[in-house]
């Protein structure tokens, strides 16, 4: 079953503002997992909203196949009960034991159906052998078990039981008690592990939590000259940083500057030229080329370079300014903002300043049938063969391309604004409603995401990565729709976008867009 089919509407969803009567507080629509929202509306809790986005609303009786035998039951709770009584396998307890999220559960079910292990074998497993993208492909068509919400497994068992079987109700209550006890145990284990953490109120795993060996591949990707050539050749990017630093050189003169993720050292040298004393930090091996570059330009007296992660190295000084080019595709991809926040909290003096200090994210609509046919419709007829099953997999992967100005078919809307002097890493997960106005008749083929960057200094500098501006190496992030949607001039297109990190690959993003009562899921990685 395609993930895009028969998506139910959300219940009790907060109404989307009328574009012709916007709220007085223009930030009232913005929310984050750590209370970034400036409004006092308690209904804007984005953590609850994200969970609401992922709920399945249909309570119909649906036949479910056991993972150990060919027996079908009328619904998931009855099938779970059968697995316990018929095979001695307590599925809810097993899910809690491994701390599975929805993706883990999907992989596990497909692993069970494909590999057919016995209950005894599964219970003896000491590692998540199903943790492989190979097991994301469904084995059974329309496998109802894959859509079961493991986050609410206990309440769902009780709430979806068909009939008035008192013994089954009692069994479900027992399962609830088991799960509650196991959750308490897991919570105590988590608290024990994090008891010595110096970071308070952290609810998501961040880049700063990763072990260096986990992140080796990311830093290795910056060791080759190609990526630095691409960034340095991006005039919008590089000249904006140059102008922000040099036009405000009286402000930086004699000050201490931290260049975080310094790469080849270009921002360090701009800062030195402005009269600052600079410390550059980078984990990539490119730091050794940066050392040679600094010497070549006779700046070694004012620029000190250190190799390592900012979270791991020791720096005695604190800094008046922290400059960093941390932005990734769709702004938040790569998660380097976590390191900037860490540096801000640990190495910026009171009254110090970040460069840049603010950024905004936007969404707009695109009509590009040529690109749609190239990436999506292509699979409908490949040398005379149908490969339409590839569509859903292709659509899930957001693409990064330069969108032609003439392809923009709607207005844009701001979906998030970050004050980098105040935010926490938790704020990088958020939910926002959006509304767009069609600029002409046509076909909406995708939503497009981009961001703007601001250096709010005495001589301010800013730049945009949007499709109406000079292209940058960030390009734009494109979220294709499964089918083009006809729009008319002046029509309002409204929806909701939720952005969160992948739970295991925290540098990557999961994006959900709800549009016309359907939910579309994307990956930015």
Instruction: Please write the tens of the pLDDT for every residue from 71-81.
Output: 998 888 888 88
334 as an active site residue: the answer is yes
Domain ranges of the chain: 66-194, 216-325, 359-524
- Report the mean per-residue pLDDT for the chain: 78
- Please state the rounded mean pLDDT for residues 121-131: 85
Instruction: Please write the tens of the pLDDT for every residue from 177-192.
Output: 554 544 444 444 444 4
pLDDT, residue 9, reads 40
- Please state the rounded mean pLDDT for residues 140-152: 75
Instruction: Please write the tens of the pLDDT for every residue from 296-337.
Output: 999 999 999 999 888 888 898 899 999 999 998 899 887 788
Domain 359-524, classified CATH 2.70.160.11, yes or no: yes
- Please state the rounded mean pLDDT for residues 403-410: 96
pLDDT, residue 269, reads 95
Spell out the long-range contacts of 56-59 with Cβ–Cβ below 8 A and sequence spacing 24 or more: 56/8, 56/147, 56/149, 57/8, 57/9, 57/10, 57/11, 58/8, 59/159, 59/160
- Full DSSP string of 332-354: TTT-THHHHHHHHHHHEEEEEEE
Residue from 334, 367, 412, 429 carrying the catalytic annotation: 334
Which residue, 306, 293, 210, is CA-closest to 258?
306
The torsion angles phi and psi of 182, rounded to 5 degrees, stand at: -70, -35
Instruction: Find out whether 224 and 434 touch, Cβ atoms under 8 Å.
Output: no
pLDDT, residue 100, reads 83
pLDDT, residue 474, reads 92
Residue from 52, 311, 325, 429 carrying the catalytic annotation: 325
State in words which class domain 216-325 has.
alpha beta
CA dist list (Å): 457 to 217, 247, 278, 355, 466: 36, 9, 19, 9, 22
Instruction: Please write the tens of the pLDDT for every residue from 195-204.
Output: 333 333 445 6
CA distance 513 to 364: 12
CA distance 448 to 466: 9
Report which secondary-structure segment, H or E, holds 498: strand 492-501
325 as an active site residue: the answer is yes
- Please state the rounded mean pLDDT for residues 258-267: 92
pLDDT, residue 174, reads 54
């Amino acid at each position: 079953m395609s993930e895009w089919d028969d998506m139910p509407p959300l219940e009790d969803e907060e109404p989307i503002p009328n574009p012709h009567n916007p709220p007085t507080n223009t930030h009232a629509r913005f929310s984050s997992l750590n209370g970034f929202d400036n409004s006092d509306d308690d209904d804007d809790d984005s953590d609850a909203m994200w969970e609401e986005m992922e709920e399945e609303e249909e309570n119909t009786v649906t036949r479910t196949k056991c993972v150990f035998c060919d027996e079908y039951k009328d619904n998931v709770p009855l099938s779970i009960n059968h697995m316990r009584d018929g095979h001695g396998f307590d599925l809810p307890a097993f899910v809690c034991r491994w701390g599975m999220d929805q993706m883990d559960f999907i992989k596990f079910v497909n692993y069970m159906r494909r590999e057919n292990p016995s209950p005894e074998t599964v219970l003896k497993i000491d590692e998540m052998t199903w943790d492989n993208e190979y097991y994301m492909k469904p084995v059974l068509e329309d496998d109802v078990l894959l859509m079961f919400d493991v986050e609410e497994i206990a309440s769902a068992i009780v709430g979806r039981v068909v009939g008035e079987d008192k013994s089954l109700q009692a069994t479900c209550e027992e399962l609830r008690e088991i799960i509650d006890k196991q959750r308490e145990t897991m919570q105590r284990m988590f608290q024990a592990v994090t008891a010595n953490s110096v970071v308070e109120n952290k609810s998501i795993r961040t880049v700063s939590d990763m072990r260096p060996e986990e992140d080796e591949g990311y830093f290795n990707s910056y060791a080759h000259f190609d990526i630095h050539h691409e960034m340095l050749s991006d005039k919008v990017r590089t000249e904006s940083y140059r102008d922000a630093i040099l036009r405000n050189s009286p402000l930086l003169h004699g000050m201490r500057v931290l260049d975080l993720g310094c790469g080849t050292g270009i921002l360090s040298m701009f800062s030195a030229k402005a009269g600052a004393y600079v410390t550059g930090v980078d984990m990539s091996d490119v730091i050794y080329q940066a050392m040679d570059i600094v010497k070549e330009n006779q700046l070694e007296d004012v620029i000190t370079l250190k190799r390592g992660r900012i979270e791991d190295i020791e720096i005695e000084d604190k800094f008046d300014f922290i400059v960093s080019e941390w932005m990734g595709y769709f702004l938040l991809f790569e998660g380097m903002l976590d390191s900037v926040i860490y540096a801000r909290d640990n190495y910026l003096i009171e009254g110090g300043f970040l460069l840049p200090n603010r950024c905004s994210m936007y969404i707009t609509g695109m009509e590009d049938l040529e690109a749609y046919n190239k990436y999506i419709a292509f699979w409908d007829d490949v040398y005379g063969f149908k490969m339409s099953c590839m569509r859903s997999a292709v659509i899930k992967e957001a693409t990064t391309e330069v969108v032609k100005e003439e392809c923009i078919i709607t207005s844009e809307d701001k979906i998030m604004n970050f004050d980098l002097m105040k935010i926490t890493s938790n704020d990088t997960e958020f939910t926002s409603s959006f509304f767009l106005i069609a600029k002409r008749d046509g076909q909406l083929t995708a939503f497009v995401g981009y961001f703007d960057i601001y250096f709010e200094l005495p001589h301010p500098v800013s730049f945009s990565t949007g499709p109406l501006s000079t292209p940058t190496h960030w390009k734009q992030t494109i979220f294709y729709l499964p089918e083009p949607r006809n729009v008319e001039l002046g029509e309002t297109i409204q929806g909701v976008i939720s952005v969160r990190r992948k739970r295991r690959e925290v540098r990557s993003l999961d994006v959900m867009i709800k549009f016309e009562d359907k939910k579309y899921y994307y990956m930015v990685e």
